[in-house]
Amino acid sequence: MSQLVEIELPDELPAALQREASELGGELRLTAAVKWYELGRLSQGKAAEVANLSRSAFISELARFGVSPFQETAAEILDAARDFPK
């Protein structure tokens, strides 16, 4: 099941974003999915679903937005590695 959300946008927005009005829905979905992923609120898989993309395509889009595909920081990975049995 899916939910339909309707939002009102300024008439000037497509020109400001250099997009056709018909493209804004997909762009908004992608932008929201990327931001929610970046904030750790969605997994890659769920964010890709929100963006209506495959997971690999979503990861490619993360690069366009300058967002790391890794949710753990380097310090967190090193901490976890220290706890790993030898």
What one-character-per-residue DSSP string does 1-18 give? ----------TTHHHHHT
- pLDDT grade for 27, boundaries at 50, 70 and 90: very high
Tens-place pLDDT, residues 36-82 = 999 999 999 999 999 999 999 999 999 999 999 988 877 877 888 88
76, two tokens: 């967190």
**What is the rounded CA–CA span in Å between residue 14 and residue 27?**
11
Q: pTM of the prediction? A: 0.80
Flag whether pLDDT at 86 surpasses 80: no
